[in-house]
Amino acid sequence: MRPVLKIKKLDPRAKLPAYAHEGDAALDLFCLEQVTIKPGERAKIRTGVALEFPSNYVALVWDKSGVANNSGLKTLGGVIDSSYRGELLVGLHNLSQDTYTFESGHKVAQLLIQPIVSAQVEEVSELSDTTRGEGGFGSTGK
């Protein structure tokens, strides 16, 4: 059974998040108003919507692949807990050398709704051995 995602428009200009194609994993999020991000700058992009979804789910904000790969804009943060009722903002960082402008209604990011698996935290004095051990950051080669 699919969870219900309730969306409240906080601004009449807002576009509701939507799946572009049947079977897509994530919904597109849309920019509420024109925003220009200069090289190296960060911005919080308003969507004009608030969300409600079941407490055993999380909403994750991810890059739009075209915006990220073609224009160098990277999402920041992006974990939205089910108890949050404020406006959904999308943090972006312009990693490119070019200024980028979102117009009102442009796709800015994607929203993925996933079930939560909560871990039980247990402090231990030792961790089990593995073949990888403490190897990380390129330890498996190119």
> What superfamily in CATH does domain 26-115 come from?
Deoxyuridine triphosphatase (dUTPase) (2.70.40.10)
Contact 114, 58 (CB under 8 A): yes
- Mean pLDDT of the 112-135 span: 91
Question: Average pLDDT, stretch 103-125?
Answer: 96
In this predicted model, what pLDDT tens digit does every residue of 19-48 receive, in sequence order? Answer: 999 999 999 999 999 999 999 999 999 999
Lookup: tokens for 74: 């990277």
Residue range 76-84: mean pLDDT, rounded: 94
User: Please, are residues 50 and 7 in contact by the beta-carbon 8 Å criterion?
Assistant: yes
Cβ atoms 16, 7 nearer than 8 A: yes
Q: Which residues, in sequence order, are CB contacts of 79 under 8 Å at separation 6+? A: 58, 59, 60, 61
What are 40's two structure tokens? 């190296």
Gap between the terminal Cα atoms of the chain: 42
